[in-house]
Amino acid sequence: MAVSDTVRLGAGVVIHHRDLVNLYGCEIGDETRIGTFVEIQEGARVGARCKISSHSFLCTGVTIEDEVFIGHGVMFTNDLWPRATNDDGSLQGAQDWCLVPTLVCRHASIGSNATILAGVVVGESAVVGAGAVVTADVAPGQVVAGVPARPVTDRRRSLAQAGAMRPPAERLR
Amino acid sequence: MAVSDTVRLGAGVVIHHRDLVNLYGCEIGDETRIGTFVEIQEGARVGARCKISSHSFLCTGVTIEDEVFIGHGVMFTNDLWPRATNDDGSLQGAQDWCLVPTLVCRHASIGSNATILAGVVVGESAVVGAGAVVTADVAPGQVVAGVPARPVTDRRRSLAQAGAMRPPAERLR
Amino acid sequence: MAVSDTVRLGAGVVIHHRDLVNLYGCEIGDETRIGTFVEIQEGARVGARCKISSHSFLCTGVTIEDEVFIGHGVMFTNDLWPRATNDDGSLQGAQDWCLVPTLVCRHASIGSNATILAGVVVGESAVVGAGAVVTADVAPGQVVAGVPARPVTDRRRSLAQAGAMRPPAERLR
């Protein structure tokens, strides 16, 4: 069992495998669904009716508003220059680094394997493409993709590139 | 135990830690090996003699043919515009999104941390580089890398860049 | 319990959830901390006072010196052309591929979701940005980011891009 007693779970939260997640000190809103192999740290807040997909990591300092989709393997960060030790070789403690908060606004979607640098705001209903590295704020409704993530101007072209128009069987074989 | 009774396992399948995977409703071919922290969803099909490495996610709609290598932390997707909720704020159900299938053909290799967008076909014996984001079909035998993934023309240069020709001890120290 | 008896653990090693990691045949130095959903393979060596964050994978052939920070979802590799099977369709065994070692030197930091190609050396106190794909050696003290990873020349600009100068509340809302 790795859902700590310190977690504040809303009503109707769905956690498929409670023994295959690591949640502690966080707050999860009503009807949110949480996949396997997910870690959510102390102080992170997730809103209502969100979907947090498998293999994702939400750290201290992250706020997820309502109705947000977090894909699989998404990594949030809260320290722009992480180190294991100080210059004198001693282990870093709470006083040795600066927590930088991150905000994902209502109804946004973060694609799988995306990386979110500490300090950004992903605006309401914005979409972050799969595999993107987000290094700057994303405006409300904006679609971004790539490394670093940049606005995608033509949604239809993006869909065509992804091959969504034809079923696989008609193509290669 | 997180290998559901609904999984159809072939003969000689190797799952190193059955309590550290999440497999349900999927089909796994003979002699395929599955690493830890792997999730394979309902309806996904994996062929024979494949290797599915740790931390990877294979979703509904994914078909992996025989003899395929899937690296560590590889994320497949099946929805080009994922959302947690509909525009009216209600939770998305099965009728609210479009499943886009993906196919990885025989003997292909997908590098670690690669992201595969829904709808693509990775051709027979093709190679996807580690960390690539695949947004379009990969031709049989082709080697692709980068974000978005593009063909790599010079394999030897690629190997040299990766530093494979010299052991580390001869270089920096 | 997935910390094998074959692991050589130093004094004061912290493993938050011993039942949610997969460590076997590896060596972990004194006071190193290991997160959840981490796999460390046979023969990998991790130094003292390191931090190995959740969801990361360290394979055979990887050497991590003292005081190194490994972020979340970091994937190391040890084979430049991985395949599940040989050309005759038989499963690959130990004699069918070439192990390429990787070295991360003292006090370096590897950002979350980074991918490290087999054979590179990350120099002392170097920093690899989150989401980077490292395909070549990183010099001591150097900061690299992107796909493939390239040197970052202006640290302050990088910080500003990441939005670290202003708290989120002052920006979008």
pLDDT per residue as tens digits for the range A60-114: 999 999 999 999 999 999 999 999 999 899 999 888 999 999 999 999 999 999 9
- Give CA separation, A154 vs A129, A160, B82, C83, in Å: 13, 10, 17, 36
The Cα–Cα gap between B33 and B19 comes to: 15
Give chain C positions within 8 Å (CB) of A45.
none
- Residue C1 is predicted with a pLDDT of 62
The Cα–Cα gap between B87 and B37 comes to: 33
| Nearest chain B Cα distance for residue A37, angstroms | 7
Cα of B91 vs its chain's centroid, Å: 27
Counting one residue from chain B and one from chain C, the pairs whose CB atoms sit within 8 A come to 123
Share of chain A above pLDDT 90, in %: 82
Residue A32 touches partner C, C-beta closer than 8 Å: no
* Per-residue pLDDT tens digits of chain C, which is 173 residues long: 699 999 999 999 999 999 999 999 999 999 999 999 999 999 999 999 999 999 999 999 999 999 999 999 999 999 999 999 998 999 998 889 999 999 999 999 999 999 999 999 999 999 999 999 999 999 999 999 999 999 997 554 554 444 433 344 444 33
Only one residue has tokens 């170097």, namely C126
- Give CA separation, B24 vs A66, A154, B47, B60, C37, in Å: 29, 37, 16, 10, 20
The Cα–Cα gap between C24 and C40 comes to: 7
Please report how many Cα atoms fall inside a 13 Å half-sphere around the Cα of residue C120, on the Cβ side. 28
The DSSP element (H or E) to which B157 belongs, if any, is helix B155-161
| Nearest chain B Cα distance for residue A132, angstroms | 8
Residue B167 touches partner C, C-beta closer than 8 Å: yes
The Cα–Cα gap between C84 and C126 comes to: 34
- Residue C93 is predicted with a pLDDT of 86
Considering chain B, what is the average pLDDT of its residues? 90
Contact B73 C73 (CB under 8 A): yes
The Cα–Cα gap between B20 and C18 comes to: 12
Cα of C75 vs its chain's centroid, Å: 6
Burial C116-127 (b: 16+ CB within 10 A, else e): bbbbbbbbbbbb
Chain C residue at shortest CA distance from A120: C163
Mean pLDDT confidence for A34-47: 98
| Nearest chain B Cα distance for residue C17, angstroms | 13
Chain C residue at shortest CA distance from B173: C123
Whether the predicted model's global pTM rises above the 0.90 cut: yes
Contact A82 C71 (CB under 8 A): yes
Band (pLDDT 50/70/90 cuts) for residue B131 is very high
Q: Where do the domains of chain A lie, and which CATH numbers do they carry?
A: 8-83+92-170 (2.160.10.10)
Interstrand relation of A133-134 and C121-122 (parallel, antiparallel or unpaired) = unpaired
Say which amino acid occupies C106: R
